[in-house]
Amino acid sequence: MARSRKVTVSTDVHGHTTGWAQTEPAPPAAPDPHAAAFFDVDNTMMQGASIYWFARGLAARNYFTTGDLARFAWQQLRFRLLAREHAGDMSQAKEAALAFVEGWRVQDVERLAEEIFDELMAPRIWAGTRRLAQGHLDAGERVWLVSAAPVEIGRVIATRLGLTGAIGTVAEIVDGAYTGRLVGDLMHGPLKAEAVTQLATVEGLDLSRCAAYSDSANDLPMLSLVGRAVAVNPDGTLLRQARQRGWEVRDFRTGRRAVKIALPSTAAAGLVAGAVTAGVALQRRRRAADATSGRIRRNAEP
């Protein structure tokens, strides 16, 4: 399988920045080249939050403590429970995201992303949602993931599932390392709709011929853009909206049997946001301090 490396960063007329990563090679010509499908990731394509499972993988590798993981899990739950965040909440979320693992080499994070996807994320892909995506691919349509997670993590998932690409939050990279800053804003809520609109313009898509899938009322702007909106494993607010608007509803949570995707290993990148990164940095500082302390004690011995 070809390596997935093409990442595009775009800014619209309002100054909003988005990024998307396209898998390679490009899909064959579609019967309807103007149609595509857009899938949210967390609780739509996979059980739980992709960034949380990435954090779990890092914790298992002793990059930070279980206490850091617990705090991050609580923040994720609180984030999910709020259908609409206050401006202050999103400001804090962005400030937390600015704690990305500054100085980490992209190639190191790529390796971790691949390993953790195969270990923890792949078994949690919803089989039903995977079939929906495959149906679009079989029809010759492009399929994009759209997630607030870093675009590199979305690219890992898209590549493993054989999808077209992913839209996600963009982290700044200089000389092959993450700087600890974001490019633009978190890919969340209305910004997802703006990103999809940007991508549709670039790719020549007709949104009235496109479909969108999500579990969350946060994604109502994206769902309202397209000709076919589908609520997948919907929260209460989205379920009510779907019924009012006559949207299709799919719920795969009753069986709770996810399919494990077994595909060849490919290069991809990933990085962890928010409190996870703060935990990682803290753990690394602890290690460095312990190592320094050990050297001092050894040098002080007679």
Supply the residues annotated as catalytic.
40, 42
C-alpha dist (Å) from residue 121 to 74, 84, 168, 205, 298: 19, 27, 17, 30, 43
* C-alpha closest to that of 115 among 54, 168, 72, 164: 54
Kindly state the DSSP code that residue 120 receives in the 8-state scheme: I
Helices (H), the chain: 50-60, 66-81, 87-97, 106-116, 127-138, 151-161, 190-203, 220-225, 236-245, 275-300
Contacts of residue 210, defined as CB under 8 A and 6 or more positions apart, other chains included, come to 35, 36, 37, 38, 200, 225, 226, 227, 228
C-alpha dist (Å) from residue 179 to 14, 97, 102, 172, 204: 25, 12, 5, 6, 33
C-alpha dist (Å) from residue 199 to 131, 140, 190, 251: 24, 18, 14, 28
Distance CA 74, CA 102 (A): 24
* C-alpha closest to that of 144 among 272, 266, 246, 26: 26
Backbone angles phi, psi at 13, to 5 degrees: -65, -20
**Amino acid at residue number 217:** A
Six token digits for residue 30: 């579609």
Q: Is the peptide bond before 25 cis (omega within 30 degrees of 0)?
A: yes
